[in-house]
């Protein structure tokens, strides 16, 4: 058959797809409103619709595969948005403390996971990849409201989570290589080398080649001279410029072409596709971030964010991103998660990962100690304002926030399971029980991600709400001054 005949879907198909999309958004909105972890609701709906109940699956296997493919497009778009919203100037202000927070957030979970290799639990040897399941993402919903996310805490979180995400996005590519059983150096190092080579080349050519070309093209397009003295060719050229400047949806098409180009290059050189999407977003943000004095009329201020909000936001937020988390739910054997051995191992590993990720607060105390020492120096004493006492509240906020969301954790765990990486156990180890060692390890990791995704957002929400409550009880002082009194230099 050379073509696909058009047939109308049956009523059960229409109702299942409609209820699937509606429930994904309903559960996300409900859990975001009360527990700040809407992605868990989407994953739950995925397990419900993907799991055959009484021998009947609510979504057929081809439909689930379609949802999985569309969901991956949503993940690429989410990572692309991360690049578009990254401000290099803000990150430079807190570079040192952000690197410190990110380093602790990466090394401590990995170290504790390696430590568990010395204390196996009934033959189950946890993979070092599970160290990232504590969540490479962060919550900034509550911090974003009322301006918290744009101040010291928020900027540090953005920088630290960005560095965690970079490692996580590259790890996504590495785990599929490990699953093939090839442990030679180059196949494992190739995704890392290719990904950071792509980043390095982009950083080199952007200021020296791309930015001058974009500025020259922008200047050429906005300079119109319809003088009759220029002749027919000059007037035709001006009309061409006007046509180009008024192409509908030009910014969307240009940004999408750049994204497609980077994703294609990354796939061709065996780099991380998700990391390439992030680089594409950062490149567009850099090239479109022009000053008002530049005289640009084609690209407005904050055009990258406005473009995403206009063209990407709604379809990604309400369809593609929920599809991604639902596809994660398709891969979770929910019945096996509640076996006794898996439950207690999962909770134990969850608590271990919560402690490991929350250890990032130590960097805040260390930075505060350095500032106190510097205050003793006459030249720096006058610069240290608002840093009285120990920074308990900022350290608590950053610790809880770095525990939080686990998109990358879910993704790495799922790919590790599907590629066979988690099944690569220590020689001579045996597994017992109803599930295999790889699947048991996968379920333990999922428990850790779920618990971290619950504890982090809820903790941040409670702390920030408490801060707002204290602000409202100070009628004689402005919220800004009261916030600075509590958070000090982190306000």
The structure tokens listed for 273 are 């596709």
Residue 475 has pLDDT above 80, yes or no: no
Distance, in Å, from the CA atom of 193 to the CA atom of 475, rounded to the nearest integer, reads 56
Distance, in Å, from the CA atom of 383 to the CA atom of 378, rounded to the nearest integer, reads 10
Residue 467 has pLDDT above 80, yes or no: no
Residue 204 has pLDDT above 70, yes or no: yes
Distance, in Å, from the CA atom of 102 to the CA atom of 86, rounded to the nearest integer, reads 16
The candidate with the shortest Cα–Cα distance to 154, out of 231, 256, 85, is: 85
Residue 146 has pLDDT above 60, yes or no: no
**pTM to 2 decimal places:** 0.79
Q: CB 4: neighbour CB atoms within 10 A?
A: 6
The structure tokens listed for 349 are 């590993």
Residue 167 has pLDDT above 50, yes or no: yes
DSSP for 150-197, written as a single string:
GSHHHHHHHHHHHHHHHHHHHHHHHHHHHHTT--SHHHHHHHHHHHHH
Structure confidence by residue, pLDDT tens digits, 273-304: 888 998 999 899 988 876 444 444 444 557 88
Distance, in Å, from the CA atom of 402 to the CA atom of 101, rounded to the nearest integer, reads 9
The candidate with the shortest Cα–Cα distance to 199, out of 86, 95, 280, 289, is: 280
Provide the 3-class DSSP secondary structure of residue 121.
strand
């Amino acid at each position: 058959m050379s073509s696909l005949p058009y047939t109308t879907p049956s009523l059960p198909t229409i109702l299942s797809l409609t209820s699937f999309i509606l429930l994904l958004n309903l559960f996300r909105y409900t859990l975001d409103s009360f527990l700040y972890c809407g992605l868990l609701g989407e994953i739950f709906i995925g397990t419900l619709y993907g799991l055959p109940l009484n021998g009947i699956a609510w979504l057929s296997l081809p439909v689930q595969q379609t949802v999985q493919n569309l969901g991956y497009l949503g993940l690429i778009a989410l990572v692309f948005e991360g690049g578009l919203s990254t401000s290099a100037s803000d990150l430079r202000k807190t570079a040192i403390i952000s690197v410190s927070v990110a380093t602790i957030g990466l090394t401590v979970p990995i170290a504790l996971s390696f430590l568990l290799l010395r204390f196996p639990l009934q033959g189950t040897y946890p993979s070092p990849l599970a160290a990232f399941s504590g969540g490479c993402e962060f919550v900034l919903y509550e911090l974003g409201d009322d301006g918290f996310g744009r101040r010291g805490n928020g900027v540090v979180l953005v920088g630290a989570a960005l560095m965690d995400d970079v490692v996580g996005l590259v790890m996504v590519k590495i785990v599929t290589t490990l699953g093939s059983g090839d442990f030679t150096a180059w196949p494992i190092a190739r995704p890392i080398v290719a990904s950071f080579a792509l980043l390095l080349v982009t950083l080199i050519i952007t200021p020296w080649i791309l930015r001058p070309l974009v500025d020259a093209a922008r200047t050429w397009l906005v300079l119109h001279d319809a003088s009759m003295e220029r002749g027919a060719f000059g007037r035709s050229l001006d009309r061409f410029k006007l046509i180009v400047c008024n192409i509908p949806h030009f910014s969307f098409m240009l940004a999408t072409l750049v994204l497609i180009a980077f994703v294609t290059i990354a796939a061709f050189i065996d780099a991380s596709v998700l990391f390439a999407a992030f680089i594409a977003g950062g490149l567009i943000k850099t090239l479109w971030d022009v000053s008002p004095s530049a005289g640009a009329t084609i690209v407005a201020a904050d055009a990258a964010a406005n473009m995403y909000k206009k063209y990407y936001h709604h379809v990604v937020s309400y369809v593609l991103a929920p599809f991604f988390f639902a596809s994660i739910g398709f891969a979770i054997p929910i019945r096996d998660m509640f076996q006794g051995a898996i439950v207690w191992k999962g909770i134990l590993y969850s608590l271990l990962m919560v402690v490991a990720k929350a250890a990032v607060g130590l960097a805040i105390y260390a930075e505060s100690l350095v500032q106190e020492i510097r205050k003793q120096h006459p030249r720096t004493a006058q610069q240290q304002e608002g840093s009285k006492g120990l920074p308990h509240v900022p350290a608590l906020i950053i610790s809880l926030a770095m525990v939080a969301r686990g998109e990358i954790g879910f993704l790495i765990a799922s790919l590790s399971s599907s590629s066979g990486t988690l099944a690569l156990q220590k020689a001579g180890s045996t597994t017992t029980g109803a599930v295999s060692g790889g699947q048991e390890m996968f379920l333990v990791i999922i428990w850790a991600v779920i618990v971290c995704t619950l504890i982090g957002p809820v903790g941040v929400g409670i702390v920030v709400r408490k801060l707002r409550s204290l602000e409202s009880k100070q009628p004689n002082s402005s919220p800004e001054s009261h916030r600075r009194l509590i958070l000090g230099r982190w306000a």
